[in-house]
Structure 1
Amino acid sequence: MEGSGEEFLKYRSPLVSRYASKEMAYNFSDRKKFTTWRKLWIYLAKAEKSLGLPISDAQVSEMESHSEDIDFVMAAEEERKLRHDVMAHVHTFAQCCPTAAPIIHLGATSCYVGDNTDLIMLRDGFDILLPKLARVIDRLANFAEKYADLTTLGFTHYQPAQLTTVGKRSCLWLQDLLMDMRNLQRARDDLRFRGVKGTTGTQASFLQLFQGDHDKVEELDKMVTEMAGFKKSYLVTGQTYSRKVDIDSLCVLSSLAATIHKICTDIRLLANLKEIEEPFEKEQIGSSAMPYKRNPMRAERCCSLARHLMALVSNPLQTAAVQWLERTLDDSANRRISLPEAFLTADIILSTLQNITEGLVVYPKVIERHIRHELPFMATENIIMAMVKAGGNRQDCHEKIRVLSQQAAAVVKQEGGDNDLLARVQADPYFAPILGELDALLDPKTFIGRAPQQVTRFLSEEVRPVLEPYKSKMDVKIELEL
């Protein structure tokens, strides 16, 4: 707690004050937004000048020399007077650029700076998220490789089912994350620039500036698009770029949230079983009342924020649906909230999941004990097959095993005892022909099928190649501040 205390007198979004990375918080900051506006005005002036409009080098130089020194107090006062954020910043920019004042924002509409800046922020937001997702995949791939052979109980309906391995289960998580990597990359690459399209997207103002020269208007759009780092602009827009672009962006982030919620729910379930735990710091407190508790708070935080991110996608869906004709302004306030929050939330849950996957703790002895409790039931089919091979009748053997299994289940469920099915089989003379085979029939390794081989092939063919472009960005460790 530093400072005068003024900052604690008003609401602050916990996404920024508690959790988000500095780079993502900056990406949606006022400074990034309004310096980008000024850069866009400079791009426009440069392109217009090169295509023959009467704009001087001195005017461009003056704008460039003041691209960063924004008087935010003046801009706020102007906006209070004008009730228009873009014009407030045009006036503020003009105040420190008196020579360039006549040509700032020449031919443009508010969405020239507003929408194009949003698209830059979306693009840069994806560029922050993609390496973070790659690091999560890398850490989880290392975990899967390490535990590819560690046998564990598989669950369907959260009831013990056939065995699998810890590594194979984590490959199920990885496969979903790979789909998210594909989706985020696709959404990022699909982004285009709004470009210079004018008030209703017809480029009429620019056609007038260039005295009816369509080629110069086309070239202006192309030049500004390239200066902003985009390969393409949308060929048609209304006053705004289509709000379906926001849907595409938030849909993939919401899908990522669903993946992370599932992974972290699994970790929470396994923590309850004491088979796997997220990192737990030496001085961390699990409960104010119960000192022994080791709550999976990181995984819980991911689930909590992932739900928020999944809910956010409804905003762009509804906004796109109600954009009348060339545009209405009821998108503005909503997008100021939903777009930054989606990227900030995605940033937080990826950083948190990286921290979790870098420190997952596995308890093989607990896993082994759970297998021992269930394996005799799972081995009944093997026992029947061995008896038939030794000359027994399948139906007789099935009935014997059924009766003994129910007796053993009663001991477990009604008396709270250990599973004694194996002891019952050994004590029954009927099973004498296969007593020497029982250890082999109950070897957990014989119940996992091709799980280890699947892990090896999956990591080699599908995971590692996806990580190749991010090799130089892998050595970043996440330490959570809260």
Structure 2
Amino acid sequence: GLSVEPVSTQVIPRDRHAMFFAVLGVIASSIERLSTEVRHLQRTEVLEAEEFFSAGQKGSSAMPHKRNPILTENLTGLARLVRSAVTPAMENVALWHERDISHSSVERGIGPDATVHLDFALHRLGGVIENLLVYPENMMSTIDSMGGLHNSQRILLALVEKGVSREDSYRLVQRNAMRTWKKEGDLLDLLKQDEEVSSRLTDSELEALFDLGYHFKHVDTTFERVFGRS
């Protein structure tokens, strides 16, 4: 699928190659983004999702209870290796009189290494996602432990829509949210008891703003947009 280089001297301009390695670097960064999320979700105190852990597999060598995310930790390191090829690829663009071959010694190293590492990383990430263990009940427990704080923005905007200034809306929500942080009550109950808030939003309106279904209303559309393509 390669076509003729329209403008060349003794060598092909290396901005073409630099763009290629830059794209590899972006893909590697996306792999690391997903890997970092899995690593966080697998933390012992979070455990909302984790890499598949087979019977008899060892995690931490010092702490037998730990199930370390070794695959995504490895992917994080591989992503760094792939990105390390981007800077030398950029340095290769500037050539003396558009004809020196100082780039070739670099490309012989970063070409095979970056592509092989990324190929391996993509296959490994596919296996991680395919076998990922997900714990919805732990996710729900995390949400519940927040006392409804994750709904603060919806309350803020609802008050604004009721004619309260944004500054006052922020103040009303924040003062109740700070009490929730101090474990003085769930945010919904505190808002219902706040006369300034309840004068603008009824109990039923407040309860509707705490409905988790709101956050999932576009899930099917999103999945169809990504995975429904022919």
**Matches for 1:300-319 after TM superposition, within 5 Å:** 300-319=73-92
AA in 2 matched with 1:358: E
Distance in structure 2 (CA, Å) of the matches to 1:428 and 1:345: 58
1:406, distance to aligned residue in structure 2 (A): 2.9
Query: 1:460 is matched with which residue: 219, 224, 227?
Result: 224
Q: Return the alpha-carbon distance in structure 2 between the equivalents of residues 421 and 328 of structure 1.
A: 69
Cα distance in 1 for partners of 2:106, 2:25 equals 17
Determine the C-alpha separation between the residues in 1 that align with 2:168 and 2:90: 62
Q: Which residue pairs with 1:354 in the alignment?
A: 126
Q: How far does the alpha carbon of each residue in 1:61-81 deviate from its partner, in whole angstroms, 9 at most, with x for none?
A: xxxxxxxxxxxxxxxxxxxxx
> What's the counterpart of residue 238 of structure 1?
9
Deviations 1:386-426 (A, max 9, x none): 9xx9xxxxx99997765554333223xxxxxxx72259649
Amino acid at match of 2:86: V
1:304 CA drift (Å): 0.8
Q: Do structure 1's residue 444 and structure 2's residue 212 form an aligned pair?
A: yes
Q: Distance in 2 between matches of 1:426 and 1:342?
A: 54
State the shift of 1:337 in Å: 0.7
Indicate whether 1:420 and 2:185 are aligned. Answer: yes
Q: Which stretches in structure 1 are left out of the alignment for 5+ residues?
A: 1-188, 193-231, 390-394, 412-418, 469-482
The letter of the residue matching 1:421 is D
Letter in 1 for 2:56: E
Q: Which residue of 1 aligns with 2:109?
A: 337
Unaligned runs of 5+ in 2: none
Residues 347, 438 of structure 1: alpha-carbon distance in 2 compared, 3 angstrom cutoff: same
Q: CA deviation at 1:318?
A: 1.4
Equivalent positions of 1:239-388 (< 5 A) are 239-272=10-43, 273-321=46-94, 323-325=95-97, 327-379=99-151, 382=155
Q: Distance in 2 between matches of 1:342 and 1:426?
A: 54
Residues 204-245 of structure 1, C-alpha deviation per residue, up to 9 Å, x if partnerless? xxxxxxxxxxxxxxxxxxxxxxxxxxxx32255333333333
Q: Deviations over 1:32-55 (max 9, x none)?
A: xxxxxxxxxxxxxxxxxxxxxxxx
Residues 2-25 of structure 1, C-alpha deviations (whole Å, 9 max, x = no match): xxxxxxxxxxxxxxxxxxxxxxxx
Distance in 2 of aligned mates of 1:260 and 1:426: 41
CA contact (8 A) 1:404 1:424 kept: no
TM-score, length-scaled by structure 2: 0.76
Superposition deviation, residue 282 in structure 1: 2.1
Aligned in 2, Cα 1:309/1:397: closer, same or farther, shift over 3 Å? closer
* 1:364–1:244 Cα change, 3 Å: same
* Cα 1:329/1:398, change in 2 over 3 Å: closer
Asked if structure 2 preserves the Cα contact closer than 8 Å seen for 1:375 and 1:442, the reply is: no
The answer (yes or no) to whether the contact 2:147–2:186 under 8 Å persists in 1 is no
Contact 2:188/2:206, CA 8 A, preserved across alignment: no
Which residue identity is paired with 2:32? H
* Post-superposition offset of 1:464: 3.5
Change (3 A) 1:300 1:396: closer
**Distance change >3 Å, CA 399–CA 336, structure 1 → 2:** closer
1:123 matched residue in structure 2: none
Alignment partners' CA distance in 2, 1:363 and 1:349? 25
Shift in alpha-carbon separation, 1:370–1:314, aligned structure 2, 3 A: same
Alpha carbons of 1:452 and 1:295: their partners in 2 closer, same or farther (altered >3 Å)?
farther
- Give the aligned CA root-mean-square deviation in angstroms: 3.6
Q: Report the Cα distance in structure 1 between the residues aligned to 2:222 and 2:125, rounded to whole angstroms.
A: 21
Tell me if the contact between 2:52 and 2:133 (Cα under 8 Å) persists in the aligned partners. yes
What is the one-letter code of the residue matched to 1:305?
Answer: L
Post-superposition shift, 1:333? 2.2
Contact 2:42 / 2:50 at 8 angstroms: preserved in 1?
Answer: yes
SS at 2:179 equivalent: helix
Q: Counterpart of 2:96 in 1: which secondary structure?
A: coil
